[in-house]
A and B are shown apart, each in its own frame.
Chain A
């Protein structure tokens, strides 16, 4: 009898009028390869939600990077191009110029966007290419096993700065988003995170704005998401979120740099 009533409750929950949340139809059913606790999965989810809510699945073209999100075309049900490491902004530039009525976004890690692809990043933003650049800053090279990234903090350990980043030896962490905000081609430049429900909602709002800007041909929208890489950082997901808030946010403060 108890079981019966449980089944009733479940059936009730499943009624469309009682649903409070369901997975976006733009997300595929493929099992994500990300480590548990990784920020990539959360950002994929809200990206898919934004594409669904705006009804732009048939006109959005994503450009995936080389990094942990290299296979993200398995998860979001739109047309995709997988670019070489760092070259997504150049790839996106051409799609945007040749198909101006489409919506184009790049999705890039810190190594991809702020090290090997710095030139492509800066020049796409400086030209004001009408596209969105989603920048997942986890301060490390996740995919290759935890090496130092351009955004690795001073003193932060990685496999190529095992005793902590020393500026004299390793150079300084790069605040590329602040730099991109200086360029006339960018219209929206913001830094967000996805470690709490409130932060997720804010990031999604920024994404909606960026898609809206693209429709209005406002130029480049840059959304940095300060992210965790618990595997690379060698912490549990919970520890990672705490460490990020305590160490990453002071150096990479959240908020809008530009909203024109």
Chain B
């Protein structure tokens, strides 16, 4: 049975992981997301669903535990915040290279360096452009509510397995820490070992006499063969771009101005739009739900009838580059955002739009 609960975004991730039948969580504590593992360790899912939960010695170890788990066909996940996610980049690159599915939740805090524990959206580049070495992408989902923190766990796993590629939930300290009503889905069964062997014939489940040995690897020393493999990866990314773009539109039908914002910034921008409309400025919102693949086509399509676009993000301007690429110079694109752990207010966003795009007052 589904269940209505009031909980933090981080707790919702943990609850949703158990309920969607995840096999394993491997993590290392870091603020502002430690509640994910704390919740799991309190719920003790190994006694109910059989889900494994392990506190690793570092984020380097936890992402490589995901490699091992995913390589043997299991649904495994981790969560962390910015500095920890930086440590995982090597492992994520290896997983993309070995075509392994997994789910990583990044509850972003302000950087660079140790930075602050306050919310930020400054890991956009690292998340959507690859992050580690080599030509690869993560599938990136951006929740804007506690409900979506829960929902995107299963969605992230589904997409990761559909494309055999790591998926990331890119949230921030605000979504992770705030409490909201959330509808948790009913408990699903974990895949049985027999199901895993059937569904994922590539997984290292032990070489049976009736099949060739399975090898999970990202090494290919023959450069021609490696280019061919990279072409296959790229074809997969084009397919993802074709099929998996998700976004939400608010008040765009009659809009003169478009705000593009994800996660916390999208919620703040929705309030900013109300302020602007009260003043007679027709603004609308496009909220990317997938940051990779990015809703470039839709932004381009909308941009024809617009007087200006504002990219709102808690960073010094990262997503704005993709918004500019999307509109192909057709319309002015500006960026606004507080950063370093500061969260902008709806009034600040509304003012920025007026100042930067509506002639200022």
Tell me the A residues contacting B by CB distance below 8 Å. 57-61, 63-64, 70-71, 73, 77-84, 87, 90-95, 97-99, 102, 119-120, 123
Contacts and interface: CB of A to CB of B under 8 A. Distances in A.
A125 to B, nearest CB: 11
A81 B216 contact: yes
A93 B216 contact: no
B214 A80 contact: yes
A94 B24 CA distance: 8
B24 A98 contact: yes
Contacts of A61: 72, 204, 206
Nearest to B74: A98
Contacts of B94: 83-84
Interface residues of B, number: 39
B60 A98 contact: no
From B58, B61, B69, B205, residue with most partner A Cβ within 10 Å: B61
A153 to B, nearest CB: 29
B21 interface: no
Nearest to B214: A79
B66 A94 contact: yes
A64 B91 CA distance: 15
A83 B64 contact: yes
B71 interface: yes
Nearest to B67: A91
Interface string B279-291: 0000000000000
B129 interface: no
B206 A91 contact: no
A98 B91 contact: no
Interface string B52-68: 10101110111011111
Contact of A82 (B26, B74, B215): B215
B213 A98 contact: no
A14 B54 CA distance: 53
B198 interface: no
A45 B204 CA distance: 21
From A90, A95, A119, residue with most partner B Cβ within 10 Å: A90
Contact of A94 (B65, B207, B218): B65
Contacts of A63: 68
B219 A71 contact: yes
Contact of B204 (A81, A90, A123): A81
17 contacts: A57-B207, A70-B219, A73-B217, A77-B207, A77-B213, A80-B213, A82-B215, A84-B67, A84-B94, A87-B60, A92-B68, A93-B61, A93-B68, A95-B204, A97-B24, A97-B52, A98-B72
Contact of B57 (A73, A97, A102, A120): A120
